[in-house]
Amino acid sequence: MAQSNQKLHVNNHIMENYPIHYRNIKVNDLNLFYREAGPADAPTILLLHGYPTSSHMFRNLIPILSKKYHVIAPDLPGFGYSDAPDHNRFSYTFDNLAGTVQAFVDKLEMKRFAVYIFDYGAPVGLRLAMNNPEKITGIVSQNGNAYEEGLSDQWNPIQKYWKDPSQANRLALRNFVSEEVTLFQYQHGVSDPSLIAPEAYTLDQKSLDRPGNIEIQLDLVKDYRTNVALYPKFHEYFRKYQPKLLLVWGNKDPYFLPAGAEAYKKDVPDAKLKFYDTGHFALETHAAEIGVEIFEFMRTLPR
């Protein structure tokens, strides 16, 4: 009888999982790849990835959230399986990425949703939130910076390029897309590197090594300065709308410091903050724990 009950429990657990669909959609003459899972009539969560990854970073989180929520995770232009047109034909700016995501949201007729922001996905998602405050039910920021105090000294060479966008300073950043730097982003601050799935950084590096991709990434690095310039506007949005906010942060992130997470509470005092003993890609080591936090957070949001 005990064995029978155990099988029943396992079968019920399996039945709770929704399949992940791998889809493509045409947006502004670009093919955008996205992952979708969960009941279509459930509250929606839009997952926005960062550099140098793609929606693949959510491969462990989506099965957790899709048990009860409708999850959509696109690849941004230039990343993953979405189109990556030459940088001379497509303007790789964060305004343009946000505009593409806006068109994606509109085409899918997404009326109300929570947004998960990480790394590059933060300035994209926060632009989206500012432009569509009525659509946003809540924000989950996982190492998604919006405050200058969150920027570490790893940004110093990049800030030098912002101040003087010369060809020499651009060339000095070509190592930014190297395998060494990609591994550093995944492994720094992780107490047990054996938890990092090798296919994650291997897939990222394969995308980074595509012909012409280095120019795409250096264009985005250059344009990141516009995100810092927008920080005051993001803060105004936080103060005005007081969005429901969950902060889940790897406390050993070499790029976005814990101070950047704590700073959110200046503008959204009721934000919930949870630190994890890990690095930049916190989902690689703490997907289950972060998934539980998001699951509980989603219960508190309006539909």
pLDDT in tens, 60-90: 999 999 999 999 999 999 999 999 999 999 9
- Residue entry with tokens 């309006």: 302
What integer pLDDT is reported at residue 5 of this predicted model?
A: 41
Q: Is residue 165 part of a domain?
A: yes
Instruction: Kindly report the number of other CB atoms within 10 A of residue 19's CB atom.
Output: 10
Catalytic, out of 49, 56, 280, 286: 280
Q: Can you give the pLDDT at residue 2?
A: 43
Tell me the average pLDDT across 44-70: 98
Instruction: Indicate whether 118 belongs to any domain.
Output: yes
Residue 268: the pLDDT is 98
Residue 148 and residue 225 in contact, taking contact as beta carbons nearer than 8 Å = no
The reported pTM is 0.94
What are the residue ranges of helices labelled H in the chain?
2-16, 62-65, 94-107, 121-131, 156-163, 167-171, 179-187, 198-208, 213-223, 225-241, 258-267, 282-299
What is the tally of helices (H) and strands (E) in the chain?
A: 12, 8
Indicate the pLDDT class of residue 6, thresholds 50, 70 and 90: very low
**Res 10 pLDDT > 90:** no
Q: Which pLDDT does position 50 carry in this prediction?
A: 98
Q: Answer yes or no: is 5 within a domain.
A: no
Once rounded to an integer, what is the mean pLDDT over residues 208-232? 97
Residue 48 lies in a domain: yes
Helix (H, G, I), strand (E, B) or coil at 153: helix
13, part of any domain: no
List the CATH number of the domain containing 254: 3.40.50.1820
Tens of pLDDT, residue by residue over 245-276, are 999 999 999 999 999 999 999 999 999 999 99
Q: So what's the pLDDT on residue 237?
A: 98
For 24-35, the pLDDT digits (tens) are 999 999 999 999
Q: Cα–Cα distance between 151 and 182 in angstroms, integer?
A: 18
Residue 161 lies in a domain: yes
Of 155, 158, 163, 170, nearest in space to 253 by CA? 155
**Residue 15 pLDDT > 50, yes or no?**
no
Tell me which of 8 and 235 has the higher pLDDT. 235
Q: Which domain holds residue 51?
A: 20-300
| 8 in a structural domain | no
Average pLDDT over residues 102-117: 98
Q: How many domains does the chain have?
A: 1
Q: How confident is residue 16, by pLDDT bands cut at 50, 70 and 90?
A: low
165: pLDDT strictly greater than 50: yes
Question: With 80 as the cut, is the pLDDT of residue 123 above it?
Answer: yes
> What crossing angle do the helices spanning 258-267 and 225-241 adopt, rounded to 10°?
40
The answer to whether position 9 is within a domain reads no
| Residue 123 CA, distance from chain mean position | 10
Active site residue 21: no
